[in-house]
Amino acid sequence: MRGAWAGLAAAAAALGLALAVSVWRRRPRPVREVLFFPSQLVCTEALLAEAAAPGAGSRPCPCPLPRGDCALSRLLRRLLSARRSLELCLFAFSSPQLACAVQLLHRRGVRVRVVTDAQSMAMKGSQIGLLRHAGIQVRHDQESGYMHHKFAIVDGRMLLTGSLNWTTQAIQSNRENVLVLEDEEYVKAFLDEFERIWEEFDPRNYRSFPKDNK
């Protein structure tokens, strides 16, 4: 009788172990990616249309650009995966495609917060005005130095950071990099930095006189 119980216990232990291994193996591997730019020029309309209304991405786009995968489309895809929150801490933001993706997320109910550089956002082509007009919260510095970060945090779980300003020039012409990491430790460090800056750049702290010359 004692032998039968021992056999049963051993079988249960083996089953438990097999189950644990199976769950562990099915757990999606954290994202670890590096995107290098300049990005090939491809059509991103289908990607944005699909994110706006499922099924719409299958309609043909009349533009002459080739279809396919590129660093920009991969960056867009990572951003469009946001379901709850998106923090952006960007020196310069003038890319229409990336602005389109951010507005789309805002319309979808994702809480978007943007921190940017006051001098850069006043430059021609900046998308910051459009984002504000769409109702997205934006805060900027009033410092003598630049708010020179270029990072994004998706759903408090994925960090995108590197040398890339979100401009068409940077995407299409410069040598740039963006690291994509699903890594709790790094995400926490950047989220803490974002919250620090967000509080510091609270409009209640803005001075009324113009920014000092940089």
Active-site residues, by number, are: 148, 150, 155
The dihedrals phi and psi of 183, each to the nearest 5 degrees, come to -145, 110
Shortest Å distance, C-beta 99 to a copy of itself: 20
Nearest to a copy of itself of 158, 164 (CB atom)? 164
Please list, in sequence order, all residues whose beta carbon lies within 8 angstroms of the beta carbon of residue 35, skipping any fewer than 6 positions away.
71, 74, 75, 162, 177, 178, 180
Q: Which residue's CB is nearer to a copy of itself, number 136 or number 147?
A: 147
Q: Which residues bind a copy of itself (CB under 8 A)?
A: 32, 34, 36, 38, 91, 141, 143-151, 161-164, 169-170, 172-177, 179, 185-186, 189-190, 193, 197
Nearer to a copy of itself, 127 or 151 (CB): 151
Angle at Cα 155 formed by Cα 30 and Cα 55, nearest 5°?
90
DSSP string, 84-126: SEEEEEES-B--HHHHHHHHHHHHTT-EEEEEE-HHHHTSTT-
Please identify, using beta-carbon distances, which residue of 156 and 162 lies nearer to a copy of itself: 162
- State the minimum distance, in angstroms, from the CB of residue 170 to a copy of itself: 7
Measured CA to CA, the distance from residue 115 to residue 195 in angstroms comes to 10
